[in-house]
A and B are shown apart, each in its own frame.
Chain A
Amino acid sequence: MNTIHVEHQNILVVFPHPDDEAFLVSGTLAMYIGAGAQVTYACLTLGEMGRNMGIPPFANRVTLPAIRKEELAASCRAIGIQDLRMLGFHDKMIEFEDQQLLDDQIMMLLKELTPSLVITFYPGYSVHPDHDATGAAVIRTIARLPVVEQPLVHCIAFSSDHEKMIGKADVTIDVTAYLAKKMESIQSHRSQFQAAELVGERDLNDEEIQSRFGTEQFWTYRFD
């Protein structure tokens, strides 16, 4: 059951890796877009240090960035995302990046788009250092806005201790109606999705797809 019924005009999604959007929020975004939202996806890197190269491997370290760029664009088309921004940071290096540079780019997007909803990772509970550093930059930047200008922030969290630390998700979205788009988005990431911990090499049946991908969850970030 959906726990959210708010309509959003402009939504900004900030993640570091092509495919973060596919597994985590593609159904939710397709839902909002179906209701008329404009979505901007700021993807910080090209995932060029990713270890999945396709099964059997068809990509290598040199060709991976261009391949993942194409995959990302295809995934956005599948979801219906109108505005994809590739910010050009180096994969795995977000936590070491010049914070001012990072924050300035996020601030520019916030000023330009004035989103009512921002979706990012929950800093500290998102496993990959790039995820945590991206979420931290977004939260840090939004915290600098006057309170009345602060958008709603929905975070993704999946570290093994997240529920103990921040409780259960307060936003649960049933994306059953958008599973076709979600699977198309996931499968756009040809070099990635066959990895065992993602989808695997075997075709999944409808029940498996429903139970693994049918629900998306978010934690509303509290700035106070």
Chain B
Amino acid sequence: MLPIHPQDIQFQIDRLAGQDLFLHLEVSSGAYANHLDSSRPPASAFISNAVIRYTQGSISGTGPYRVGLKTEQGWIYAEGLTHVDEFETEQLIMAGHDTQGKLIVALQLGQNRF
């Protein structure tokens, strides 16, 4: 994965707007959070291959980045994004990693299911 350059992400967000897309959205403390440090309760959530469509979206912040996508009925939001996969036209794969390189957040949009 590559460090995020926000203008490239914005370009891809705009390109994928207004069409049905598969969404994978995830945050994770990891299942071992509490085992390794009893002050850290585990908290994780993911939704995989939800079909969504957004009308507008943008990336903001100075890194780690935030992304907000406005859908017809609500919003999709992720914070802590640091890395992006090599660009492919039909998808946008972003993730946030902590200082140890572990994934803590993922936001993926694609025309094909994940």
Contacts and interface: CB of A to CB of B under 8 A. Distances in A.
Contacts of B104: 51
A194 B95 CA distance: 19
Nearest to B107: A61
How many interface residues does chain B have, given as a range? Answer: 20 to 34
Contact of B24 (A50, A56, A61, A92): A61
A61 B46 CA distance: 12
A53 B28 contact: no
B93 A55 contact: no
B1 A197 contact: no
Contacts, number: 67
Contacts of A52: 101-103
Q: Is the interface of B mostly helix, strand, loop or mixed?
A: strand
Contact of A61 (B32, B36, B114): B114
B114 A57 contact: no
A195 interface: yes
A130 B42 CA distance: 14
A195 B100 CA distance: 7
A58 B1 contact: yes
B80 to A, nearest CB: 13
A56 to B, nearest CB: 7
A51 B28 contact: yes
Contacts of B108: 61-62
Contacts of A49: 26, 28, 46
A61 B101 contact: no
B10 to A, nearest CB: 20
Given A49-B46, A52-B101, A197 B32 contact: yes
Contact of A159 (B26, B35, B91): B35
B35 A62 contact: no
B88 to A, nearest CB: 10
A61 B35 contact: no
Interface string A81-96: 0000000000010000
A147 interface: no
Contacts of B26: 49, 61
Given A49-B46, A51-B30, A197-B32, A60 B85 contact: yes
Interface string B23-45: 01010101110011000000000
B103 A53 contact: yes
B30 A57 contact: no
A1 interface: no
A183 to B, nearest CB: 21
B59 interface: no
Interface of A: 49-63, 92, 127-130, 159-160, 194-197
Question: Which 4 pairs of residues, A with B, have the shortest CB-CB distance?
Answer: A51-B102, A51-B103, A55-B101, A128-B31
9 contacts: A49-B26, A51-B104, A54-B101, A57-B97, A61-B26, A61-B106, A62-B114, A128-B31, A160-B35
